[in-house]
Structure 1
Amino acid sequence: MRADRLIAMLMLLQSRGRMTAIQLADELEVSERTIYRDVNALCYSGVPIYTERGPGGGISLIEKYRSDLTGLTREEVQALFVISIPPALSDLGLDKELRAAMLKLSAALPATLRGDEQAVRQRIHIDPIPWRHEGVTPSKIQLQMLQKAIWESLEIHIRYQIFMPQGLMPLQSLVDPYGLIAKATDWYMVAKRQDHMFVLRIDRIQNIEPTGNVFKRPDDFNLTGFWEQWCQDSEDNRPSYPVIAKVSPSLSDDLEFYLGNRLIGCGEPDQTGWMPVELNFDYYEQARKELLGFGGAIEVITPIALKYSMIDFAEQVIKTYKNKDTPGTRKFQS
C-alpha cells in the first residue's frame, strides 16, 4: 500500500539520513520512478523533504524534522538492537512487522544514539537455531491457521498423531486452542480438550479445520505459568532407565564431555584403569543405541537384558562383516 510505503520512506530517511533514489528503491522494492513520485507526494503534504543532484547528492529530510525518543539510555538502546528476527516470528508471518517496528524505533532515536544500531548489529548476533536440529518444522500455513484460531477463540477439529511410526492411525479431536509456544525451533499448541488441558507438538498435527464455534477463554488463564508448570511436571515424571557400566581409560579422563547429562556418578578406577559409572537414559532402546556408539570403550554391567542385547548386536555386526572383502581394501594373510 502506498501509505505504508510513504511512512517507511520517512522512517528510512530519519534513521539513515540522506539516501539515493536507488537505495530507497532497493529497500522499498519499487522503481526509482516510484520513489520520485513518492517524494513529490510527501512534498505536497508538507513534509520537508528535498533532493540534491550530483555526486554526494540524494534524498533527505531537514534535520529538525524528527520526533526523538527520549528516556532511553545508551545501554538500553544497545540491548534493543541485539534483537534479531527470531524464526518463531518468521514462522508466524510477523517478521516484516518486527522489522518495521525496529525501523520506527531507530528513526525516533536521538541523533547521538542512532549510530549505535549498526555498531551493535556488527558486534553481536543471536542465532536461536540449535546445531543439528532434527525436529520437523511445521508448515507456516498450519501455524497461521492456529494463530488465527487462538486470536479469535475459534474451536478447531484436528487430526494428529501422538507417536510417529508408520502405520499408526491418526487420532481426531475437537479442541479449544489457548496458545502457541515456541521452544527453540519446536512449536507446541496449548489447548483444552473436553475438561482438561493438554500440550501437542504442532508438527504432529496433520489437519486443522475450524468448526465455526467460538469458545470462552478463561480470563485468569496464564499461558506462561501453565507452560512452566507443564515443563516442570514433564521433567519430574520423565521416564528413567538406569545403567551400571564400566568405561575404558580412554574415556575416563573426560567423562562429562563424552557422556554429558547421562552421567549420574562414578567410582574409583580398578587396577586396569576401567572406571565404574552410573548412567541414566529415558528408555531401554535409547540406552542401547547410544552405548553401541562407544564400541568397546564401555562395558554394560546391568541391566543384564541390556548387556545381552549389546552382545547380540555386536555379534550381528561381526557376522555381517566377517570374511567379506570391503571394496577398496586388500586381504592380508597372517
Structure 2
Amino acid sequence: MKSSRLLSVLLLLQTRGRMTAAQLARELEVSVRTVYRDVEALHAAGVPLYGDAGHAGGYQLLAGYRTRLTGLSAGEAEALFLSGIPGPAAELGLGAALAGAQLKLRAALPPELRAQADRMRSRFHLDAPGWYAEDEEVPHLPAVADAVWRSRVLDVRYRRWKAPTDVDRRLEPYGLVLKAGRWYVVAGPGPYTYRVDQILEATVLDEEFEPPGDFDLAAHWQRHQADFHARLHRGEALVRLAPGAAARLTGAAARALAATGTPEPDGWTRAVLPIESLDHAQGVFLALGTAVDVLGPPELRARLAETSRILAQRYAVGPAPDAATNQDGSARY
C-alpha cells in the first residue's frame, strides 16, 4: 500500500504542480503526518521534490522532472480501458485520439496486464443511454467543447421549454457533463445548466474568461442533481400495493417503499410514496392497474375514481359506439 501511495503522491505533484500537505492528505485519504513521512521517503529515494513554507507554500517537483507511467495494478489497467467510451468520445471529436491513446497504453503495458486489459475490453461494453432514448443530434457539441477547453465565451441561441422559447445567451462554459446519454454544459454566470442539444446556434468568441477558483464540476453536478430531485417530488401519496407490485416501482418510489413500506395481513403493503404532481401521479398509478389502492391525497383519489368511471363506460361490454354492425348484430370494424 505504501509504494502505491508514494507513486500517487509523485503523480499528483507531476500533474497538478504545487500542493500542500493538507491537499495531498485529502486526496489520498490519509493524515498530514503520513504525507510528511511519504515526502521524506521520496526524498530518500532521490526524487527531486522540495517544499516551501508560508501561505502560498507547498510541495512541488523540480522543474522539468517527469516520471514514466509505471506501477499500474491489474485493476487500474482494466479500469483505464473500460473508462474509454467510444460514443461520447466520437461526439466530442476525440474518437481517433481515444483509439490512439488506448493503443499506446496497451503497448506500454507488460504482457500479463495487457492480456487482462484485452479481456476486460472484450467482455464489457458500456452503453450509457436508456433503451427508449432516441439518438439526439448535438451539432454544436464540438463548438461548446472547444469553448470549454480554451475558456472562451460562447454566444448561443437557446431553446427552452417556457416562453419566450428561443433566447440569446452569453455563456462562460465551465464544463460538460454526460448524463444518461444526454450532454449538458454548466456555464456562468450563475452557474446554470443547459442542454447542449437545445442550442440552436453557437459562436465561440475570442474573449477569454476565468472560471471561479473554487468551482468543482463534479461537486456542482452532485448538488444540482440533489436540488433537482428535491424540487421534482413535491408531494406524497399514501397507497396500498398488491404483492408483486413493488417490483414495478423504480427510483425514488422504490426507495420510499423500502423505507416506509408496512406489510398488512392480506399480503398487501402500505407505504408513503413521493409524487411529482397530480397529473404525473395519476398516470403512474393508473399504469399499476388493480395492483394499487391510492388512499390519499383525496384529490388524487378523486381523479383516479373519475378516470376509472370514464374507462369503465368506454370499455363496457358491447360494440363501440361508432362500429358498424353485421346482420346478426355483431360489431363490424
How would you bin the TM-score normalised by the shorter chain? 0.5 to 0.7
Question: Which aligned pairs between 1:132-147 and structure 2 lie closer than 5 A?
Answer: 132-134=131-133, 137-139=136-138, 141-147=139-145
Cα deviation for residue 189 of structure 1 reads: 0.8
| Structure 1 CA distance for aligned equivalents of residues 73 and 169 of structure 2 | 51
Cα deviation for residue 215 of structure 1 reads: 2.6
**Matched residue, 1:186:** 182
Change (3 A) 1:84 1:125: farther
| Structure 2 CA distance for aligned equivalents of residues 181 and 288 of structure 1 | 32
**Matched residue, 1:302:** 296
1:262 maps to which of 248, 253, 260:
253
| Structure 2 CA distance for aligned equivalents of residues 69 and 216 of structure 1 | 31
Secondary structure of the corresponding residue to residue 140 of structure 2: helix
| Structure 1 CA distance for aligned equivalents of residues 193 and 307 of structure 2 | 36
| Structure 2 CA distance for aligned equivalents of residues 99 and 127 of structure 1 | 16
CA contact (8 A) 1:284 1:306 kept: yes
Change (3 A) 1:110 1:274: closer
Which amino acid in structure 2 is aligned with residue 262 of structure 1?
A
1:231 maps to which of 219, 225, 230:
225
Q: Which runs of 5+ in 1 are unaligned?
A: 1-67
**Matched residue, 1:216:** 210
| Structure 2 CA distance for aligned equivalents of residues 117 and 231 of structure 1 | 33
CA contact (8 A) 2:86 2:98 kept: no
Q: Which moved more, 1:79-88 or 1:147-156?
A: 79-88
Question: Which aligned pairs between 1:270-309 and structure 2 lie closer than 5 A?
Answer: 273-309=267-303
1:319 equivalent in alignment to 2:313: yes
Change (3 A) 1:312 1:81: same
Q: Which runs of 5+ in 2 are unaligned?
A: 1-67
Which amino acid in structure 2 is aligned with residue 257 of structure 1?
A
Q: Deviations over 1:29-61 (max 9, x none)?
A: xxxxxxxxxxxxxxxxxxxxxxxxxxxxxxxxx
TM value normalised by structure 1: 0.64
Larger Rg: 1
Change (3 A) 1:120 1:136: closer
Q: Deviations over 1:250-286 (max 9, x none)?
A: x32x45312233153233425x555433221222221
Change (3 A) 1:74 1:148: closer
| Structure 1 CA distance for aligned equivalents of residues 209 and 118 of structure 2 | 46
Alignment RMSD: 3.1
Secondary structure of the corresponding residue to residue 249 of structure 2: helix
Secondary structure of the corresponding residue to residue 127 of structure 1: coil
| Structure 1 CA distance for aligned equivalents of residues 228 and 169 of structure 2 | 22
| Structure 2 CA distance for aligned equivalents of residues 237 and 74 of structure 1 | 43
**Matched residue, 2:127:** 128
Higher relative contact order (CA 8 A, sep 6+): 1
CA contact (8 A) 1:160 1:205 kept: yes
| Structure 1 CA distance for aligned equivalents of residues 312 and 200 of structure 2 | 42
**Number of residue pairs the alignment of both structures matches:** 252
Cα deviation for residue 93 of structure 1 reads: 1.6
| Structure 1 CA distance for aligned equivalents of residues 287 and 114 of structure 2 | 53
Secondary structure of the corresponding residue to residue 230 of structure 1: helix
CA contact (8 A) 2:185 2:195 kept: yes
Secondary structure of the corresponding residue to residue 126 of structure 2: coil
| Structure 1 CA distance for aligned equivalents of residues 224 and 145 of structure 2 | 21
CA contact (8 A) 2:245 2:291 kept: no
Change (3 A) 1:103 1:203: same
Cα deviation for residue 113 of structure 1 reads: 4.2
Change (3 A) 1:240 1:331: farther
Change (3 A) 1:290 1:209: same
Cα deviation for residue 290 of structure 1 reads: 0.7
Change (3 A) 1:305 1:151: same
**Matched residue, 1:94:** 94
2:153 maps to which of 152, 155, 169:
155
| Structure 1 CA distance for aligned equivalents of residues 73 and 207 of structure 2 | 48
| Structure 1 CA distance for aligned equivalents of residues 102 and 305 of structure 2 | 59
Change (3 A) 1:331 1:132: farther
| Structure 2 CA distance for aligned equivalents of residues 82 and 136 of structure 1 | 22
CA contact (8 A) 2:172 2:209 kept: yes
Cα deviation for residue 200 of structure 1 reads: 1.6
Cα deviation for residue 70 of structure 1 reads: 5.1
Change (3 A) 1:245 1:183: same
Percent same amino acid at aligned positions?
25
CA contact (8 A) 2:156 2:202 kept: yes
